Structure 1
Amino acid sequence: MQTLSPAVSLTSAAAPAVPGRRLAFSQLAIAACVLALCVVVLGAYVRLSHAGLGCPDWPGCYGHLDVPESVRHIEAANAAWPDRPVEPEKAWKEMIHRYAAGTLGLLILALAVSAWRRRHEPGQMLALPLALVALVLFQALLGMWTVTLLLKPLIVLGHLLGGLATLGLLFWLALRQSGWQPRPAEAERRRLGGWALLALAVLIVQIALGGWTSTNYAALACPDLPTCQGRWWPPTDFADAYLPWRGLGINYEGGVLDNEARMTIHVMHRVGALLALAVLGALAWRLARSLDAGLRRGGWLLFAALVAQLLLGFGNVLLSLPLPVAVAHNAGAAVLLLVVLGLNHLLHPRRLPA
């Protein structure tokens, strides 16, 4: 009477395996997220060290899967690309970034395959891993166009935003599949959930403004603070500053805009920074006063990330854009994005199927 049937025994033995498999999926998502952060920082380093055209072709480099280094290979590459002679240091920067991005693509493909195989398990997300595969394929196209269209700002900005979107979506996937879902009180979620969404929207706009500043080489257009070339509001040219497309065949390395257009872009990035500081600072202050200990910690973490990013922005201007500070400023934007996404995860709990 008390003996379990074979079917019940199999079900009972298999049940504990589902959380374990979900944990493995979450760990793979976390690994992909860490690599995505590295790819974003590497991409910023390549762009800011003027190595974006270190390899004039794609996906290889001067027709090789690595960088040509022997005298014979370098001579052949220089003959094939006479307008872009081999600079091994820049070429290796670009290829290391491509290797890392390719590895990330394989990890994301593994996540999608794993999600598809486990699609019938309760709580397993499928649409997001599949969307990430599509995003990575589009990112590869943007990477190719970045080179073939000679650093066109609209393409480079799209590639930057795509990289941050990949990072953010991987982090969101890892959070949603991790099983870590503290639930603040309903009143706290209602009071702060809208602020968290607003902060995310404002931060995305500010990141886009910063990306446009970088891709148009406008970071040094205003070398003073808080004024710009000695004026609170310098001469502006919005039409030229935000013209999205200037035709084909233009080499954008070093930028093509005049001084007024670059000042316009820089000033608007500062205006966006003030708005982001106000909104994210207000969210951090509200979180720090929360009754929930987890939300209070999140508020202080947001405050620390915001202050660090502000100081890095000041450093870029006052120190004339030193490479380590500029790269750290890009990394700081990515960290801010992750912090705000984590807060949205806390304030908008996932509703699992019954």
Structure 2
Amino acid sequence: MTLLRTMAIACAVLVLAITSLSAFIRLSRAGLGCEPWPQCQAQLLREAKQGAAPAPAGAVAAARIAHRITAVGALLLVIAMVLAAYGSAPPLVRKGRLVVVLLGLAVFLAVLGRMTADSRLPAVVLANLLAGLAMFAVSWRLVAATRPAGAARTLDAGWVRLALALLVVQIMLGGLVSAGHAGASCPRLAGCDLGTASWQAFNPWQEPDPGAGVGAGALVHMAHRAAGILTAIVVAALGVAASRRGHRAGALLPALVVLELGAGIGLIARSTPLALALVHNVLAALLLATVASLLPERRWPRAACRRAA
């Protein structure tokens, strides 16, 4: 049990690095950080659709190499975790199921990356984003599941699942904003440019059109903002309830919610800087993983953990 928990922590760290590198590559390809902003973003998209996209910058090329190396390391670690879970005496079947889910997600991401390396479909971006964050959440869930039983009282599973569902929807909307290059659709905190807004921005199977206008993704951006407020309220309330019941992870949720809201506001106020967009992505991963760790599960007693270790 102790070995599996140590490997789960290492896996969570590796997966967080992978998702951060993937976000850096994706957002850099989308034009974040280019000059002059936002005109350069549309120009980059036109060049890509015409097959004349420039070679990746040195930082992006280095990030791709680091991403591949880290992904291979994470896959090998997950395989070792499967052997540790089912090779122990007695086998850690419940924990092994989480490890098998990790292995399935890792294989899915590897196949997806191989088959859709140059795809700009929002559906591919969403699949990559959600699978990567799910892998991080499952890794952290495994860390929580291998911790000896404490005195914390069980939370209502329905409320935890509701918070998870809202977070997933919010992450999907954020992915559509990113994949649809809609960052400049709402340049002000007070409102969005709806002049050229289109419902097609919600279609993940349609590539963004560089001629659709800056405000084409305004509706997605507005939905992301509205869902963000609702999600923040539910997740923060869940954190307060979890903290009162003795869950250490619950105390983190209100702080993470405030930081995530601050990062989102900063993205709008400062015209979507790349560094802040990456922070926004990392905070979303931490929120998802923290809420997932609060799902009720029967804990191992301390004595059993020592015997299993």
For normalisation by structure 1, the TM-score amounts to 0.72
Q: Which runs of 5+ in 2 are unaligned?
A: 32-50, 305-309
- 1:182 correspondence with 2:150: yes
Is 1:228–2:192 an aligned residue pair? Answer: yes
1:264 to 1:145, Cα distance in 2 relative to 1, 3 A: farther
Q: 2:238 aligns with which of 274, 278, 283?
A: 283
CA contact (8 A) 2:256 2:283 kept: yes
| Contact in 2 for aligned 1:146/1:156 (Cα 8 Å) | no
Distance in 1 (CA, whole Å) between partners of 2:211 and 2:111 is 24
Q: How far has the Cα of 1:139 moved from its partner?
A: 0.3
Q: 1:111 aligns to what?
A: 81
**C-alpha separation in 2, matches of 1:211 and 1:302:** 22
Q: Distance in 2 between matches of 1:328 and 1:161?
A: 17
Whether 2:150 is the aligned partner of 1:199: answer no
Structure 1 residue 41, shift from structure 2 partner: 1.3
Q: Is residue 254 of structure 2 the alignment partner of residue 303 of structure 1?
A: yes
CA displacement at 1:85 relative to structure 2: 4.3
Whole-angstrom CA distance in 2 between matches of 1:107 and 1:122: 17
Following superposition, the deviation at residue 352 of structure 1 comes to 5.5
Q: Residue in 1 aligned with 2:7? A: 28
Is the Cα–Cα contact under 8 Å of residues 146 and 155 in structure 1 kept in the other structure? yes
Segment of structure 1 superposing worse, 313-322 or 101-110? 101-110
Using CA pairs under 8 Å that are at least 6 residues apart, name the structure with larger relative contact order, 1 or 2. Answer: 2
Q: Mean alpha-carbon deviation: is it higher for 121-130 or for 266-275? A: 121-130
Amino acid at match of 1:263: A
Q: Which residue of 2 aligns with 1:318?
A: 269
Identity %: 33
Query: Which of 195, 198, 205 pairs up with 1:237?
Result: 198
Structure 1 unaligned regions, length at least 5: 1-21, 53-80
Paired with 1:141 and 1:195, the residues of 2 have a C-alpha distance of 34
- Counterpart of 1:126 in 2: which secondary structure? helix
Judged with a 3 Å threshold, the aligned counterparts in structure 2 of structure 1 residues 311 and 166 are, in CA distance, closer, same or farther, namely same
1:316 offset after TM fit, Å? Answer: 0.3
Which of 209, 215, 237 matches 2:173? 209
Asked if structure 1 preserves the Cα contact closer than 8 Å seen for 2:98 and 2:142, the reply is yes
| Residues in 2 aligned to 1:349 and 1:116: alpha-carbon distance in whole angstroms | 19
Seen in structure 2, the aligned counterparts of structure 1 residues 205 and 255 have a Cα distance that, compared at 3 Å, is farther
Secondary structure at the residue paired with 1:178?
coil
Residue from 132, 141, 148 that aligns with 1:163: 132
Does 2:228 match 1:273? yes
Q: Report how far residue 177 of structure 1 moved.
A: 2.0
The equivalences for 1:27-176 within 5 A come to 27-50=6-29, 85=55, 87-118=57-88, 120-121=90-91, 125-149=95-119, 151-176=120-145
Secondary structure of 1:244 counterpart? coil
- CA separation in 2, counterparts of 1:86 and 1:234? 33
CA contact (8 A) 1:33 1:167 kept: yes
SS in structure 1 of the partner of residue 99 of structure 2? helix
Q: 1:299 to 1:176 in 2, by over 3 A?
A: closer
Aligned letter for 2:91?
E
151-160 vs 123-132, which moves further = 123-132
Q: Aligned pairs, how many?
A: 283
For 1:23 and 1:305, how far apart are their aligned partners in 2? 28
Task: Indicate how the Cα distance of structure 1 residues 89 and 283 shifts in structure 2: closer, same or farther if over 3 A, else same.
Answer: closer
CA contact (8 A) 1:123 1:352 kept: no
CA positional deviation for 1:50: 2.0
Measured in 1, the distance between the counterparts of 2:105 and 2:226 equals 30
The RMSD of aligned alpha carbons is 2.8
**Contact 1:225 1:317 (C-alpha < 8 Å) held by counterparts:** yes
